[in-house]
Amino acid sequence: MSLVIQKGTSLRADAMQRLKKNRAAVMGVYCLALIVLACLVLPFTPWLKDPNAQSLIDQNLAPCAKYWFGTDNVGRDIFSRVFYGGRISIAVAVLTTLVAATIGVTYGAISGYAGSKVDALMMRTVDVLYGMPFLIVVILFGRVLEKETAKWSNAVVDLLTADNASAAKINDVRTAVEPLVTMAPLFIAIGALSWLTISRIVRAQVLTVKKLEFVEAARSLGLSHATILFRHILPNCVGPIIIYTTLTIPGIMLFEAVLSFLGLGLKPPNSSWGVLIKEGADLMLTNPWYLFFPSLFFSLTLLSLNFIGDGLRDALDPKSSKD
């Protein structure tokens, strides 16, 4: 009789194994990594022209060797606009999601851990917020803050540049800073409204975990509630948190794009993919490629994120991967 000793695999290694087997998710990871890398690195390299530099000669050009994605009606290079816009879209989506996830996890964890009346009250609040037409409120909120944010971004640009800086330098700082500062309040608002699903999921998870023996052990050791909740219970809820955070990002990217498309989000000359799609849609007849390229990258990013989210769910959630 021979004894086969198999090396045990941890839950995490198991999940990684399952994730690697999911071809769509792996493709998603590579595709997303490429796009994100391009958007982060390319603006610092000399290959990208100034996204707002206009040209009288090179207007309405189809994709060619000099302008890979063509030019728009005032001769701006669409290739560089796509990647500058992508940088904003991705930054905004990630920051907003972080806000949403932080609020959602804390809220859901406290609600689930406290239980009884506190839980009921907190979850009723979530129910109430679920029933609101958010896009509409956010649009109104953005309009209210429009003038204020313009002032703030000017102040930040002044702060970052010396008095005697050249116009080109100031312009550089402005393209980098302005969209983020002008959009910050709006996206904090969106983040503050997008945490509902995450909080429900985390609460459900905390409810199951808090009944386990090790929590009782922690309590009998005299640990404080905060320590038990954040050191012992939450690390056991990481799976669902990662899944739903990943699945929140595409929703928020869509939200940003819809706002920009309606002309209520980012304002030109700042660009995000939403702004580019809007400008492209207006120039559909003369320059179809202006709509095509931003849409392509936008949709590819959404597709990758959704595939990764689905793959993570299949890998981390044993129940759904059973079948």
- Where does this chain bind another protein (CB under 8 A)? 124, 127-128, 130-137, 139-141, 143-144, 146-147, 250, 254, 257-258, 261-262, 264, 274, 277-278, 281, 284-285, 291, 295, 298-300, 302-303, 306-307, 320, 322-323
Least CB distance from residue 200 to another protein, whole Å? 12
Q: Would you say 64 or 284 has its CB closer to another protein?
A: 284
208 or 321: CB nearest another protein: 321
What CA–CA distance (Å, rounded) separates 182 from 154?
10
Kindly give the residue spans of alpha helices, DSSP state H, lying in 131-272: 134-160, 167-193, 196-209, 213-220, 225-227, 238-261
- How many other CB atoms sit within 10 Å of the CB of residue 127? 11
Q: Closest distance between another protein and the C-beta of residue 129, in Å?
A: 8
Closer of 8 and 133 to another protein (Cβ): 133
Residue for token digits 């044993």?
Answer: 318
> For residues 77 and 67, is the Cβ–Cβ distance under 8 A?
yes
Q: What does the block give as tokens for 132?
A: 């609101």
Min separation Cβ 281 and another protein, Å: 4
Q: Which residues contact 203 (CB under 8 A, 6 or more apart)?
A: 108, 109, 111, 112, 119, 123
* Nearer residue to another protein within complex by CB, 9 or 320: 320
Cβ 311 to another protein shortest distance, Å: 12
Q: Tell me the closest approach of the beta carbon of residue 317 to another protein, in angstroms.
A: 12
Token couple for 143: 């309009």
Q: Do 83 and 296 meet the contact criterion of CB atoms below 8 Å apart? A: no
Least distance (Å) between residue 261 CB and another protein: 5
- Of 30 and 47, nearer to another protein (C-beta) is 30
d(CA 257, CA 276): 9
DSSP conformation letters of 103-116: HHHHHHHHHHHH-H
CA distances from 48 to 37, 38, 126, 277 (A): 14, 11, 45, 20
For another protein, the closer CB: 53 or 284: 284
Q: Specify the residue, 13 or 33, whose C-beta has the smaller distance to another protein.
A: 33
Tokens of 175: 């393209």
The least distance separating another protein from the CB of residue 91, rounded to whole angstroms, comes to 19
